[in-house]
Amino acid sequence: MLAFVDLQTKEFPVSSVQALVEAAKRQIREIDPAELQQLQQTGVPIIDVREPAEYAAGHFPGAVNIPRGVLEFEVDGHPAVNCQRDPALGHRGQPVVVACRSGGRSALAAAALKQLGFVEPLSLRGGFQGWIQAGLPVEK
């Protein structure tokens, strides 16, 4: 059985990974590809939490790759993973967009960033797949 810690640090059991993702989505705001494209014009940081090979195959213009498995450690430059704080994370008081392949990992990552004090972590609904389906530009 999986457990998810909500923002009030109260645990509740969930029955599947999908339930865990849905619980995370209730705690954050999701945006669609068109909204992300508008936010790109403002310089909002975009964190692609996919694995490096996924990122290398194609990614959002201007996105920085910080894999889901180390994101929380990179927030404060945790020495356990020999990280320095990535400036792409911006400031906790400013918006940051988190994206993945389809929206699940980014929802979990955005919820984790919210728990770490980020006031406006946004998750891209539909992820990179939705971005491509919308016909938006890709970098390699």
d(CA 71, CA 31): 20
Q: What are 11's two structure tokens?
A: 């645990």
d(CA 11, CA 138): 39
- Active-site entry in 46, 89, 100, 107: 100
Q: What are 72's two structure tokens?
A: 């929380």
Helices (H), 26-126: 33-40, 52-57, 71-75, 104-115
Is 83 tagged catalytic?
Answer: no
Contact call for residues 6 and 27 (beta carbons, < 8 A): yes
What residues are labeled active site?
A: 100
